[in-house]
Every structure is written in C-alpha cells, then in structure tokens.
Amino acid sequence: SDAQLITNKDLSLPMAVTIAQTAIQTCKSQGYAVSAHVLGRSGEVLVAMRGDDTGPHTLENSFKKAYTSRAQRISSGQFAENAKNNPTLGALHLSNMVPAQGGLPIMIGQDAIGAVGVSGAPGGDKDEVCAKAGIDKVAADLK
C-alpha cells in the first residue's frame, strides 16, 4: 500500500548553528557585518543570528532569503533572475519571498532539507559567498 511513513533526514541544531556561525564569521573576516538564518525542511527557523553592528533589517532579510531558497529549492539569487525575466512570477506575491541574492538551499541530492540566508554585506553576491561557506563547513555530513 501507499500508506507508509515518510522518512527524512533533517538538519540537527549543532549543524545549523555551525552553518550560521561560519557564514557570519566568514563575512566578518572579509570586513562585513551580517546576520544569518538557517531554516529546516518545512521552512521553520532553526537558528537566527544577528551579527554585531548589523542594521535592524538584516535579520528579517536573512530570513526571507533563506525562506525563498527553501521554498523554491534554488538560490535566492536565481529566484531574483527568474523574477527579472518574468515580472508576473506568482511566487513574488507570497509572504516572505524576496528576489535578492544571499540565500542558498541546503541539499542532500535532490532533497532540500533546509536553507541558509545571509544579509548585511555590500552586495548579495558577497552574502552568498558567506552562506556557501556555512554549507561547505558541514558538507561532509550532508549525506
């Protein structure tokens, strides 16, 4: 029968903390004060970290970048590109979606188990580099 339980691999809190801390520290080492969010499989907040000396908007923005990446299963930068190419994109009108670079999905194969979002660097491309550093730090455990 089809009535079977679904088994999933999910991010642990220590992994999520490592991702967020690594992202923030990577940006700090490059001279950028940022905030970071790590979300789980259902888009729930696992970790929210507001970096020292960051603007008040960065915590909200890092959440939205992460949420966008988790919901779309692509980088928030790719979502921004898609929105630019299709301004009537329906997902633009959903809560917490933001067409801004700096969010990345956390994948095991084709399975999006979460996402990380970073905000505060001068440019989403720089936010994304720090987000990727966070994921790379735990890459060996994403199996």
Segment 120-140, tens digit of pLDDT: 999 999 999 999 999 999 999
Segment 64-103, tens digit of pLDDT: 999 999 999 999 999 999 999 998 889 999 999 999 999 9
From 119, 18, 136, 122, select the one nearest 63 (Cα to Cα): 119
pLDDT at 81: 96
pLDDT at 2: 80
The CA distance from 113 to 36, in Å, is: 17
Residue count (the chain): 143
Mean pLDDT within 21-34: 98
pLDDT at 108: 95
pLDDT at 52: 95
State the pTM of this model: 0.95
pLDDT at 87: 87
Point out which residues pair with 114 in neighbouring strands: 106
